[in-house]
Structure 1
Amino acid sequence: MLAILAISSQQWIPAFGWMAAAVFVDSFDGLLARKLRVKEVLPEFDGALLDNIVDFLNFVFVPAYFLYAADFLPSSVALVGATLIMLASAYQFCQNDAKTDDHYFTGFPSYWNIMVFYMFILSLNGWVNMAIIVLLSTLVFVPIRYIYPSRSTMYRRLTMTLAIIWGVVNIVILIQYPAFSPWLVWASLAFVFYYTGLSLYIMYQSQN
Structure 2
Amino acid sequence: MENTTPDALPERIRMRTAAFSVHIFTALGAGIALLAMLEAVREHWANMFGWLGVALIIDGIDGPLARRLDVVRRAPNWSGEVLDLVVDFVTYVFVPAYAITASGMLLPLAAPLLGIGIVVSSALYFADRRMKADDNHFRGFPALWNAAAFYLFLLHLSPVISTLIVALLIALTFAPFHVLHPLRVVRLRWLTLWLLAAWAVLGMYTLANDFEVGAPITFGLCAIAAYIIGSDTVIRRMKALKS
Quote the residue 2:9 is aligned against. Answer: none
Query: Where is the helix percentage greater, Structure 1 or Structure 2?
Result: 2
Quote the residue 1:23 is aligned against. Answer: 56
8 A contact 2:46–2:211 mirrored in 1: no
Which SS does the other structure have where 1:27 is aligned?
helix
- In 1: Cα distance, 2:97 partner to 2:211 partner: 22
How many residues are treated as equivalent by the alignment? 208
8 A contact 2:179–2:230 mirrored in 1: no
- 2:48 partner letter: A
Picking from 80, 83, 91, the partner of 2:113 is 80
Picking from 91, 95, 101, the partner of 2:134 is 101
Between 1:174-183 and 1:129-138, the stretch displaced more is 174-183
Quote the residue 1:125 is aligned against. Answer: 158
Structure 1 unpaired stretches of 5+: none
Quote the residue 2:18 is aligned against. Answer: none
Quote the residue 2:37 is aligned against. Answer: 4
8 A contact 1:145–1:203 mirrored in 2: no
Structure-1-length-normalised TM-score:
0.93
Structure 2 unpaired stretches of 5+: 1-33
- In 2: Cα distance, 1:48 partner to 1:110 partner: 17
8 A contact 1:67–1:116 mirrored in 2: yes
- 2:153 partner letter: F
8 A contact 2:179–2:229 mirrored in 1: yes
Quote the residue 1:47 is aligned against. Answer: 80
* Deviation for aligned residue 1:205: 6.0
Residue deviations 1:51-78 (CA, integer Å, cap 9, x gap) = 1111111101011011122122122111
- In 2: Cα distance, 1:98 partner to 1:202 partner: 20
Picking from 190, 200, 203, the partner of 2:233 is 200
Between 1:172-181 and 1:103-112, the stretch displaced more is 172-181
8 A contact 1:144–1:203 mirrored in 2: no
8 A contact 2:117–2:170 mirrored in 1: yes
8 A contact 2:153–2:211 mirrored in 1: no
Quote the residue 1:187 is aligned against. Answer: 220
Quote the residue 2:186 is aligned against. Answer: 153
For the aligned residues, what is the CA RMSD? 1.6
- In 1: Cα distance, 2:238 partner to 2:126 partner: 26
Which SS does the other structure have where 2:135 is aligned?
coil
- 1:162 partner letter: L
CA 40–167 in structure 1, closer or farther in 2 if over 3 Å, else same: same
Residue deviations 1:139-168 (CA, integer Å, cap 9, x gap) = 111121112111111000101101110111
* Deviation for aligned residue 1:206: 7.2
- 2:97 partner letter: A
Structure-2-length-normalised TM-score:
0.81
Quote the residue 2:15 is aligned against. Answer: none
The yes-or-no answer on 1:60 pairing with 2:93 is yes
